[in-house]
Amino acid sequence: MANDVITARQKGRELAERLGLSSTDVTLVATAITEIARNIVEHADKGELTMALVRDGGRDGIRVVARDSGPGIADIALAMRDGYATGDGLGLGLPGARRLMSEFELVSIVGEGTTVTMTKWRS
């Protein structure tokens, strides 16, 4: 499972570099992907992460969609607070990823799973 997180990070880094993001933004994208992929590994039985280059209104970016079939998040507002953790982590995963990316959306249904969609636009 740890290999899945590493692979996702590497693929995200490669895609962000292909987009022409700055080295700082490439690192931010890779870090956000790592945080979200770790959540899937730690909290869900099964999940997937997809990445694609996107264009919207003349802007170019990288979009990452992470879906899992885990337990879902009962209190999204609480989960998005810095310092809140359900495991042994620091509680920086979801709110940290939100800060690192240009756009961030989280949809979760208890008992069904969670989908995180995040985009980083090229400046």
The pLDDT, as a whole number, for residue 89 is: 52
The pLDDT, as a whole number, for residue 123 is: 86
Pick out the chain residues at pLDDT < 70.
1, 84-92
In which domain, by residue range, is 37 found?
2-121
Could you give the number of structural domains in the chain? 1
CATH number at residue 60: 3.30.565.10
How far apart, in whole angstroms, are the C-alpha atoms of residue 49 and residue 65? Answer: 6
The pLDDT, as a whole number, for residue 91 is: 47
Instruction: Say if residues 47 and 8 touch (Cβ distance below 8 Å).
Output: no
Quick one: 35 exposed, middle or buried, by C-beta within 10 A (0-12, 13-18, 19+)?
Answer: buried
